[in-house]
Amino acid sequence: MVFLFNHDTILSVLSITAITTSISLFFAGAEICIRIKKKGNTDGIGSAPFLVTFLSCAFWLQYGVLKDDHAVIMVNFIGCMMEGVYIWYYNIKTRNRRRFHKILFIECFIILSMLYYINHDGEMEDKIENLGTICVIFNILTNSAPLVDLHTIIKNKSTESMPLPIILAALAGSIQWYFYGFLLNDIYLQIPNGLSVIICLLQLALFWIYPSNNKKNTTDDEKKLISSEIC
């Protein structure tokens, strides 16, 4: 039997696998919520992973709408829903609701400003270019976050605090979204995911340089949520 893998078939397969991988990464937020439930409050647990991911998904969702890209729309719609639930739970458990609500207000203002711009008169190509640029910058900043811990990891010569399964999932998702963007000739998908691939490979290299002795499990406080490619 001869299998013909044409452009549309490969694109369809990539979109399905990329969506699946990205959704699996969104479940990392559930682990944080479990920690919050065990503690009974959010002391020592920041809201940044939820808020940053929600904001990123909101921008990419609108980008997908402008491009009429169903894969980008689907994964980021699901991301917004899941992160919204995490934010809601965090709001219930946090002791400092006033500060948290201020941050939420700023985030909502940013999203509403983006929606106003998108729905205002202007050339569609300009809107796609500007929103795509913002999404790229946003993802570059979030994808570069793991680099902050490199100094500590190299200094301690230990990768115990690095979540290998999440890094592998982020690498897989970034590769999938990169080639998805490549087939669509979408540089706004290629640039951040290409960078994410490099960062994930750099992190994996550290596991080879500083192999874990497996004498202890990574503690809950050491685990990091990697804001990867989202899409």
How high is the pLDDT of residue 5?
65
pLDDT digits (tens, 9 = 90+) for 15-69: 999 999 999 999 989 989 999 999 999 988 888 889 999 999 999 999 999 999 9
pLDDT for the residue numbered 80? 96
pTM score: 0.85
pLDDT band with cut points at 50, 70 and 90 for residue 143: confident
Q: Which two tokens stand for residue 201?
A: 């490979």
Of 88-97, 126-135, 140-149, 211-220, minimum mean pLDDT range: 211-220
Higher pLDDT, 190 or 146: 190
Amino acid 229: pLDDT: 52
pLDDT digits (tens, 9 = 90+) for 4-20: 567 788 999 999 999 99
Mean pLDDT for 174-198 is: 96
For position 212, what pLDDT does the model report? 66
Per-chain mean pLDDT for the chain:
86
Average pLDDT for 154-179: 88
